[in-house]
Amino acid sequence: VQLVESGGGSVEAGGSLRLSCTISGYRVVTGCMGWFRPAPGKGREAVARIDRADATSVADSVKGRFTISKDSAENILYLQMNSLKPEDTAMYYCSARTAIGCGYRPIDYNAWGQGTQVTVSS
């Protein structure tokens, strides 16, 4: 399984970015996928996840601003980020769980991308 993120960059506060995660060796329709970013003192925290039934959830800190989605035909995972804040500055990682089930913890996922940097200036 190979995951490659793209779409990161530098924006001003209030701006938008859309992250993409291109997946090979795994079908997005088959399981759980998520976006993570580092959290101080906590390792990586889940920003958003989407399961095989397309049910989504996002962290409280990004609720109403970030949306996770997937294109099953193209096998791509997205994270639409609107109303960005300086505290959203981080490396964002795409992840996949190839086993049955879903989760919110990094340990629940067994495939990771290399990350894409998002920097939000005030």
30 phi/psi in degrees, rounded to 5: -90, -20
pLDDT of residue 42: 83
Q: Which two tokens stand for residue 118?
A: 């998002």
Nearest to 85 by CA among 101, 72, 66, 98: 66
Q: What separation in angstroms does the CA of 56 have from each of 4, 49, 106, 113?
A: 21, 6, 17, 20
- Predicted confidence at residue 32, as pLDDT, reads 94
Helix (H, G, I), strand (E, B) or coil at 86: helix
pLDDT at 29 over 80: no
Q: Grade residue 26 by pLDDT with cuts at 50, 70 and 90.
A: confident
Nearest to 86 by CA among 8, 4, 12, 7: 12
Mean pLDDT of 80-107: 95
The predicted pLDDT at position 41 comes to: 85
- Position 40 confidence tier, pLDDT thresholds 50, 70, 90: confident
Summarised one tens digit per residue, pLDDT across range 54-85 is: 999 999 999 999 999 999 889 999 999 999 99
**pLDDT band (50, 70, 90) for residue 30:** confident
Q: Whole-angstrom distance between the N-terminal and C-terminal Cα of the chain?
A: 37
Q: How many angstroms separate the most distant Cα atoms in the chain? A: 41
